[in-house]
Amino acid sequence: MFAQRTLYRLGISHNSCSFARFRWSTSSSRHLSSWPPHGTRFFNAHASVSYMPTRSRRVVVGITGATGIIYAIRILQILKELGIETHLVISKWAHATLQYETPLDAAKIVELATKTYGHRDVSAPPASGSFQHDGMIIVPCSMKTLAAVRCGIGEDLITRAADVSLKEDRKLVLVVRETPLNEIHLDNMLVLRRAGAVIFPPVPAFYTQPKSLDDVINQSVGRMLDSMGIFTDIFPRWEGFERSKK
Ligand SMILES: Cc1cc2nc3c(=O)[nH]c(=O)nc-3n(C[C@H](O)[C@H](O)[C@H](O)COP(=O)(O)O)c2cc1C
C-alpha cells in the first residue's frame, strides 16, 4: 500500500511498473480503489507537455502610503507606452495619500495599469509563485511595508507578492521613502538587500542639470526602470565630462 501510494505521488503509472502491477493484483489493493482521490490529476507516461505560450513582458507594481506617488504614476505611464503589462496593487494608505499628492483620482491611476487587484486579496495571481512575471517594484515603499517584507509577513497582497518575488528569485525593487532613517529602517534594508532586493531610495541626481521637477522625476524613474532591466531614453545618461558638456 505504501509503495503504491509512493509511486502515484512520484507520478509513475501502475502500468509502467511490474512491482506496482503485482501489488495491484493483490487483495490489499482493494483498499486502494479510492487512490488517487477522485478527480486528482497526475501525469502518466502518455501525458504530452508543451512550453507555456510566449507572453509580453509583465511587471507587478505595488503602491504604498509613503509620499511620492508621482513616481508610481510616471512608471505606469511609461510601462503602458512601452507595451509592458502591469499588475497593480494600491495599499489602503496609498489611497489616502494620493488624494493629497495628485489631482488624479485612484480610478485614473487604475486606468494606466493592465490589471488591478484589491490590496487585501491574497488569492490574486501575484500572490503565487506560479504566476510568471518579470519583476516587482514597490513605489513608493513605506517603512511599514519594508518592515513587513523584511519579516516575511505576507498579510496583504503587496507584501505577499514581494515575498513570493524573493522566494522565486525574481527582481524586487523597493523605492523606500523616509528621511532621516533610524537603525530599524537601515537594518531592514540591509537584510532585504542581502536577500536579493534592490533598495532604491528616490534620491535625485543633479549632474544631469534638471530644468524642472519633471526632469528630476524622469531621471529617478528612469534609473528605477534600469534596476528592473528596462532601459529607456527618458533621461540623459552620463557620457563623461567632455561629451556631457556638448
Ligand atoms: C501624507 C502622508 C505621508 C506619508 N509619508 C510617509 C513616508 O514618506 N514614508 C513612510 O514610511 N510612511 C509615510 N506615511 C505613513 C504611512 O502611510 C503609514 O505608515 C502606513 O501605515 C503605511 O501603510 P502601507 O505600507 O500599507 O501603505 C505617510 C502618511 C501620510 C498620511
Please tell me the residue having the least CA distance from ligand 1 atom 13.
66
CATH 3.30.160.40 fits 58-227, yes or no: no
Please tell me the residue having the least CA distance from ligand 1 atom 31.
97
Question: How confident is residue 97, by pLDDT bands cut at 50, 70 and 90?
Answer: very high
Instruction: For residue 204, say if its preceding peptide bond is cis, omega within 30 degrees of 0.
Output: no
Overall average pLDDT of the 161-178 stretch: 98
With a CB cutoff of 8 Å and minimum separation 6, the contacts of 127 are 121, 154, 157, 160, 161, 164
Is 197 in contact with 166 (CB distance < 8 Å)? yes
Looking at ligand 1, which atom is closest to the CA of residue 100?
1
Sheet harboring 58-63: ordered strands across? 115-117, 85-90, 58-63, 136-141, 172-176, 198-199
CA of 74 from ligand 1 middle (Å) equals: 19
188: Cβ below 6 Å to ligand 1? no
Please state, in angstroms and rounded to a whole number, the distance separating the CA atoms of residues 127 and 163: 9
94: Cβ below 6 Å to ligand 1? yes
Is 88 in contact with 121 (CB distance < 8 Å)? no
Q: With left for phi above 0 and alpha for psi between -120 and 50, is residue 149 left, alpha or beta?
A: alpha
Is 150 in contact with 177 (CB distance < 8 Å)? no
Question: How confident is residue 34, by pLDDT bands cut at 50, 70 and 90?
Answer: low
Looking at ligand 1, which atom is closest to the CA of residue 119?
26
Q: Which of 70, 93, 179 best tests ligand 1's pocket when mutated (most atoms within 8 Å of CB)?
A: 93
Task: Give the residue extent of every domain in the chain.
Answer: 1-49, 58-227
Looking at ligand 1, which atom is closest to the CA of residue 91?
27
Q: Which of 61, 92, 97 best tests ligand 1's pocket when mutated (most atoms within 8 Å of CB)?
A: 97
pLDDT of residue 47: 75
CA of 194 from ligand 1 middle (Å) equals: 24
Question: Which grid coordinates belong to 13?
Answer: 503509472
Q: With left for phi above 0 and alpha for psi between -120 and 50, is residue 39 left, alpha or beta?
A: left
Overall average pLDDT of the 233-245 stretch: 85
Phi, psi for residue 117 in degrees, rounded to 5 = -125, 155
Q: Which of 61, 144, 149 best tests ligand 1's pocket when mutated (most atoms within 8 Å of CB)?
A: 144
Distances 153 to 65, 122, 236, 240 between C-alpha atoms, Å: 17, 12, 39, 44
pLDDT digits (tens, 9 = 90+) for 55-92: 999 999 999 999 999 999 999 999 999 999 999 999 99
64: Cβ below 6 Å to ligand 1? yes
Greater confidence, 162 or 7? 162
Please state, in angstroms and rounded to a whole number, the distance separating the CA atoms of residues 150 and 176: 13
pLDDT above 90: residue 192: yes
pLDDT of residue 245: 61
Please state, in angstroms and rounded to a whole number, the distance separating the CA atoms of residues 162 and 136: 7
Nearest Cα neighbor of 184 from 148, 156, 138, 224 is 148
Q: Where are the alpha helices (DSSP H) in the chain?
A: 2-9, 18-25, 69-82, 92-101, 106-112, 143-151, 157-167, 183-194, 213-227, 241-245
pLDDT above 80: residue 32: no
Place of cell 501525469: 43
Q: State if pTM tops 0.85.
A: no
Nearest Cα neighbor of 98 from 59, 139, 145, 136 is 139
What residue numbers does the annotated binding site cover?
65-67, 91, 142-145, 177, 207, 223
